């Protein structure tokens, strides 16, 4: 039987406290980039409201207010790492497809860069709380057959990534408050 130490309240760790700010910064930048991945206006997005999501391998972020009462530092950081890496793989896959169809991919590059930085910060945080960094396997992603297909995947990734950023920022703020880190 495996037992995993799980802490609901972070201990005051100056090094972990120093990670909340940079992680939040990258999440804010990522949120801005994620809104531009599909390169559509809000009026244009309305036309895609009925299009079904097709990327089952994307993280499905669902946090309720009640969920925050049960958050554990190590479990939350592990999930944050897994989700960050999953989004990074999806964004890089989308960027490659956009390049193939000569579509703009500047926002994808920016998002990928912030996901990479965020992943590194989470990895360092996991080491600081003596948690093993999980080995991940790449998801099986569909072939993008045309630019319209790339656009619909862009919208789906953009929307899910925005939810991820908002929820992750809330989780980090929650742990920052509980850990009694000094305010800047």
Q: What's the CA gap between 51 and 68, in Å, rounded?
A: 31
At 48, the pLDDT band (50, 70, 90 cuts) reads: confident
Q: What's the CA gap between 129 and 144, in Å, rounded?
A: 40
At 80 the pLDDT is 97
CA 141, 145, 150, 152 torsion: positive or negative? Answer: negative
pLDDT digits (tens, 9 = 90+) for 71-121: 888 899 999 999 999 999 999 999 999 999 999 999 999 999 999 999 999
Token pair, residue 25, equals: 């910064």
Q: What's the CA gap between 111 and 31, in Å, rounded?
A: 8
Specify the residue for token string 């910060």: 121
pLDDT digits (tens, 9 = 90+) for 155-183: 999 999 999 999 999 999 999 988 888 77
């Amino acid at each position: 039987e495996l037992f995993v130490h799980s802490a609901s309240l972070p201990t005051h760790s100056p090094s972990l406290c120093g990670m909340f700010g940079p992680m939040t910064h990258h999440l804010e930048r990522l949120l801005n980039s994620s809104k531009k991945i599909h390169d559509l206006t809000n009026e244009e997005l309305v036309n895609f409201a009925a299009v079904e999501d097709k990327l089952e391998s994307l993280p499905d972020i669902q946090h309720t207010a009640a969920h925050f009462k049960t958050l554990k530092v190590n479990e939350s950081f592990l999930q944050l790492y897994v989700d960050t890496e999953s989004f990074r793989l999806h964004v890089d896959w989308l960027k490659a497809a956009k390049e193939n169809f000569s579509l703009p991919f500047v926002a994808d590059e920016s998002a990928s860069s912030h996901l990479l930085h965020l992943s590194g910060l989470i990895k360092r945080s996991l080491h600081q709380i003596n948690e093993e960094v999980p080995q991940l396997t790449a998801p099986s992603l569909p072939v993008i057959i045309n630019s319209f297909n790339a656009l619909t995947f862009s919208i789906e990734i953009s929307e899910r990534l925005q939810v991820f950023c908002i929820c992750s920022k809330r989780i980090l703020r929650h742990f920052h408050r509980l850990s009694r880190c000094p305010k800047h």
